[in-house]
Amino acid sequence: MASGFFALLDDVASLMDDVATMGKLAGKKTAGILGDDLAVNAEKASGFMSSRELPVLWSITKGSLLNKVIILPVAFLLSAFVPMAIIVILVIGGLYLAYEGAEKIYEFLVPHAHKKESVVAKNLSEEEILAHEKEKVKSAIITDFILSVEIIIVALGEVSQSPIEIQIPVVTLIALIATIGVYGIVALIVRMDEFGFKLIKLNEEDDSFSDKVGKLLVSALPKVIKGLSVIGTIALMLVSGGIFVHNLSFMHHLAERIAIPGILFEFLTGLIVGVIVLATITVVKKLFKK
């Protein structure tokens, strides 16, 4: 009886060790998308009145958790019964990631007018303010759904050859980290300027240490968000290129023949595919307009 109990403990320990190992590998693969997820959500969670930033962020977080509850069972069913679908979804997700990254690079290199989303105006009623928030929360949750699909499928693709008892805890863990970790950091980022203002008002001195730190935090917020966007764009290209190289045999063979570092090949692959997809979509849009 005792030997059976200890054997069970040994099996559980071995399973947890496998989960931890595969979790690290899947975490590395999804890190790029998490960086982009962080940049996107930091931007979407900003622009509200100070007192409404955290409630709005909490609403988006709850929506993100619901997205994971919907996506995870579907992903596990596909992995169990239609494993080829995971590869197909991965490649489609790679095309989307490459397109998104190429679009960001295009907008940076070819500046054009953007319709800035108006920050809540002083003359809006409370009902209008809440309606504005609801629309932004809805938009953020839809964006989160797309990014969540990418994160979960990429993580699942990394452990697709493992037994289902490894897949479920690993991918679920990645999904939870993607929500709790990303939105926890977003909360710190969007409150950075508020904390800076509190430091500035901490005392009546004009140029105290707290004033300098406070002003630094206030001025750093837009730079942090912009920096995250740049890092996220690079990560998008690397992740998408990696998806193509590791899941399309002809791309894998091409990578072995070309004598350049693997990470550079993956970035260039993501960039080239992204430019092609962006150009195709742009042409199709123009044709439909005509």
Contacts of 72 (CB under 8 A, 6+ apart): 152, 171, 172, 175
Quote the pLDDT of residue 239: 79
Instruction: Reply yes or no on whether the pLDDT at 55 is more than 50.
Output: yes
Tokens of 190: 């969007």
Angle, in degrees to the nearest 10, between helices 164-190 and 209-247? 150
Quote the pLDDT of residue 2: 45
Select the highest-mean-pLDDT range: 1-5, 139-143, 285-289: 285-289
Nearest to 270 by CA among 253, 285, 255: 255
Instruction: Look up the domain containing 117 and give its range.
Output: 2-289
Rounded-to-integer distance, Cα 99 and Cα 241, Å: 11
Give the least confident one: 120-124, 157-161, 208-212, 266-270. 120-124
Instruction: Reply yes or no on whether the pLDDT at 120 is more than 60.
Output: no
Please give the average per-residue pLDDT across 151-179, as a whole number. Answer: 79
Please give the average per-residue pLDDT across 154-161, as a whole number. Answer: 75
Instruction: Reply yes or no on whether the pLDDT at 207 is more than 50.
Output: yes
Residue 253 vs residue 50, higher pLDDT: 253
Percent of the chain whose pLDDT exceeds 70: 75
Contacts of 220 (CB under 8 A, 6+ apart): 192
Instruction: Match 């008002």 to its residue by tokens.
Output: 201
Residue 204 vs residue 69, higher pLDDT: 69
CB 175 within 8 A of CB 72: yes
Instruction: Reply yes or no on whether the pLDDT at 64 is more than 50.
Output: yes
Tokens of 200: 């500035």
Instruction: Reply yes or no on whether the pLDDT at 116 is more than 50.
Output: no
Which string of DSSP letters, residue by residue, matches the chain?
Answer: -HHHHHHHHHHHHHHHHHHHHHHHHHHHHHHHHHHHHHHHHHHHT-SS-GGGHHHHHHHHHHHHHHHHHHHHHHHHHHHHH-HHHHHHHHHHHHHHHHHHHHHHHHHHHS-----PPPPPPTT--HHHHHHHHHHHHHHHHHHHHHHHHHHHHHHHHHTTTS-HHHHHHHHHHHHHHHHHHHHHHHHHHHTHHHHHHHHHTTSS-SS-HHHHHHHHHHHHHHHHHHHHHHHHHHHHHHHHHHHHHHH-HHHHHHHHHS-S-HHHHHHHHHHHHHHHHHHHHHHHHHHHH-
For the whole prediction, is pTM greater than 0.75?
no
Residue 115 vs residue 267, higher pLDDT: 267
Please give the average per-residue pLDDT across 131-157, as a whole number. Answer: 78
How crowded is residue 288: how many other Cβ atoms within 10 Å of its Cβ? 7
Residue 154 vs residue 1, higher pLDDT: 154
Query: How many domains are contained in the chain?
Result: 1
CB 34 within 8 A of CB 175: no
pLDDT in tens, 229-277: 787 788 778 878 888 887 788 887 888 888 788 889 989 999 999 999 9
Give the least confident one: 6-20, 129-143, 144-158, 191-205. 6-20
Please give the average per-residue pLDDT across 167-172, as a whole number. Answer: 82
Instruction: Reply yes or no on whether the pLDDT at 118 is more than 50.
Output: no
